[in-house]
Amino acid sequence: MGDYTLLTILFAPFLGAVLLIFVPNRQALQVRLVAAASAGISLLAAFYMFFAYDSAKGGFQFVQRHEWSKELGIAFYLGVDGIGTPLVLASAILLFAGIFISWHIKDRTKEFYIFLLILAAATIGVFMSLDLFFLYFFYEMSVIPMYLLLGIWGSHTKGYLDMTDPEGLRKRDSVSFIFNFAANSKEYAAMKLTLFLSVGAVVALMGILLIYKFSGLHTFDILVLREQAKFSGSLATIIWLLIFFGFASIAPLWPLHSWSPVGHAAAPAATSMLHAGVLMKLGHFSIIRVAFEILPETTRELMPIAAVLCIFNILYGGYVAYYARDTKYVIGYSSSSHMGYVFLGMAALDYISLTGAVLYMFAHALATGMLFAMAGWVYDQTHSRDIPSLGGLVNRMPFVAGCFLVACMASVGMPGTVNFIAEIMILVGSWNKYPFQVIVAVLGIVLTLAYLFRMMRGVFYGPMEEQYSHAHDAVAMVDRLPLLLMIACSITFGIFPGHFYNVIRSGVDPLVARITQVVPIAAQSGSDELRVMSDELYEVAGQQASAVGAPGANRSTLITGDPLLQDCNGCPPSPITGREP
């Protein structure tokens, strides 16, 4: 399977979507089984990819490259490193769980699953792409199914039903609802999401085209651009800002965040899971893959911007979540708040903090996926998301209430869950550079605990209204399976994080070293001073080696900092690393 692992993960959902076209909509069970089978194949291949990834070797693995347009320098180029691997796995997990979360959808079931499969496959394509053209192609592909899933299968918020203009005429059936920011509809949410993401995507596209034009390399290959592209100071700044803010809109970074909670509130449960779990991470990942890789020096200079803005993400998102009455708004603003932690880990540019940021993206996907899945279950049973009107549901749905508690604990970062490890790494790795932001982040954790337990108390405890007495628990296996899968992954990787940590570090270490210039001798820089220093050190190493009768040192091992000599006893320390061979 090794040579075709990424193709299997990526195209199994696409193939499932194509097969569903030929299944009659009246055969609902066959529709669900085809969707579940395609998502299951993708999930199994993703787990194989994750555990087969060689963290000791590092770099991009399971690579597939097919020339698409030699004239334009475009190739269908796939590969995953330690950063992309966990995000591909998160997408596959949430897709499989989302299929079963949506098992009871009866309105145009086939079309719903087709768009859900395309959405998940598009996010997977972004995390795999090593070509800027296809990275952007898959990025844009994710917007279309999101618009349709919200606009057709979404739900209106309570305020939408009361929308009126100053003359008392209802506005919800007119185009003017799009510009009414006080009350929302599913169409408004879909349109706002599409406009925000499309405008951000166009801004990012301008940065990508500038890279293509002024690199002079006539290629979209990220690895070639990473090694060979050089840009002047002002041009590099312009490109970096376009890439950063273009992709930050989907992250979402404050103040570009307002589309996200509205989209969460209107979306069906499975769409909210993918939206919060992986769609929002497209922004962070694309910034890392494009800005960090291709413009490392500019990243080092300008990432403090993210360190400032992430404060507003953490505090504003948490504050609004605490006072929100709608369960999905609470979780939606919570997600916006938690994305500030990822930006903090990225801004610190530390091995530990960036590793924690990547791990937190995976951990948040599972925790928020669980919360949205159970919020959707409660809504299906009660037809209400208004927290004050709910209560006492633990008596009717003890399994869902128990899973909700686990999801809350994971979101807070309780030890034993993978979120705990990720949060600790972000806080520890960022402390030396941004102590104030770390203090704010700790306060944000306390705020998270407050609003999540406030929501849980309001929904599951206290007296229960008689109108909700018909509500029932998740009893069938198809209803329990997605929750158990996400809980198992969160706790298992939280207790046994070793392989996860090694995989992510294999991708983070060379990237941080490149940005912070940890390697003392950058022979590729072409600097005369560095070349002279390299030659002098090489001569010193050769003289020391000759003094002990050892064979001469190899220049490539000297520059990379590897041991100078093999099978050498009593050799002097390396002039580069200071270590004995």
* pLDDT at 452 exceeding the cut of 50: yes
**Same domain, residue pair 334 and 450:** yes
**Do the domain assignments include residue 396?**
yes
φ and ψ at 428, to 5 degrees? -65, -45
CA-based Rg of the chain, rounded to a whole angstrom? Answer: 25
**Do the domain assignments include residue 221?**
no
Looking at every residue in the chain, the average pLDDT score rounds to 79
* pLDDT at 550 exceeding the cut of 60: no
**Do the domain assignments include residue 436?**
yes
**Same domain, residue pair 432 and 466:** yes
Distance of alpha carbon 251 from the chain centroid = 8
Domain limit, last residue, from 496, 518, 540: 518
**What's the pLDDT tens digit per position in 57-91?**
888 889 888 888 888 888 899 999 889 899 999 99
**Same domain, residue pair 553 and 433:** no
Tokens of 38: 């395609």
* pLDDT at 540 exceeding the cut of 50: no
**What's the pLDDT tens digit per position in 246-298?**
888 888 887 777 766 776 677 788 888 888 888 888 889 999 998 898 888 88
Structure confidence at residue 156 (pLDDT): 62
**Same domain, residue pair 315 and 385:** yes
Closest CA to 290 of 231, 196, 234, 211: 211
Task: Tell me how many domains the chain contains.
Answer: 2
pTM to 2 decimal places: 0.81
**Same domain, residue pair 356 and 505:** yes
* pLDDT at 573 exceeding the cut of 80: no
Distance CA 25, CA 96 (A): 21
Average pLDDT of span 213-218: 84
**Do the domain assignments include residue 92?**
no
**What's the pLDDT tens digit per position in 410-432?**
888 888 889 899 999 999 988 88
Contacts of 244 (CB under 8 A, 6+ apart): 287, 291, 302, 305, 306
Question: What is the band of 581 on the pLDDT scale with cuts at 50, 70, 90?
Answer: very low
**Same domain, residue pair 341 and 435:** yes
41-50, 165-174, 426-435, 468-477: which has the minimum mean pLDDT? 165-174
* CB-CB contact of 512 with 351 (8 Å): yes
**Same domain, residue pair 485 and 366:** yes
Average pLDDT of span 234-257: 86
Average pLDDT of span 435-449: 90
Average pLDDT of span 520-533: 38
Domain limit, last residue, from 518, 538, 557: 518
**Do the domain assignments include residue 422?**
yes
Structure confidence at residue 552 (pLDDT): 40
Structure confidence at residue 157 (pLDDT): 60
Percent helix, strand and coil across the chain, each to the nearest 5: 70, 5, 25
**Same domain, residue pair 473 and 571:** no
109-113, 154-158, 545-549: which has the minimum mean pLDDT? 545-549
* pLDDT at 523 exceeding the cut of 50: no
Average pLDDT of span 334-348: 89
Structure confidence at residue 538 (pLDDT): 39
Closest CA to 397 of 367, 373, 363, 366: 373
**Same domain, residue pair 349 and 446:** yes
**What's the pLDDT tens digit per position in 133-187?**
999 999 888 888 888 887 777 676 654 444 444 444 454 444 444 444 444 566 6
Dmax (CA) for the chain in angstroms is 96
Which residue has better confidence, 576 or 96? 96
**Same domain, residue pair 415 and 533:** no
Amino acid, res. 256 = L
122-136, 206-220, 281-295, 551-565: which has the minimum mean pLDDT? 551-565
**Same domain, residue pair 545 and 408:** no
DSSP letters spanning 59-92:
S-EEEEEEEEETTTTEEEEEEE-TTHHHHHHHHH
**Same domain, residue pair 563 and 503:** no
Domain extent at residue 550: 529-581
**What's the pLDDT tens digit per position in 318-328?**
888 888 888 88
**Do the domain assignments include residue 434?**
yes
**Do the domain assignments include residue 134?**
no
* pLDDT at 576 exceeding the cut of 70: no
Tokens of 524: 């590729």
**Do the domain assignments include residue 581?**
yes
Domain limit, last residue, from 495, 518, 541: 518
**What's the pLDDT tens digit per position in 355-379?**
999 999 999 999 988 888 888 888 8
Structure confidence at residue 186 (pLDDT): 67
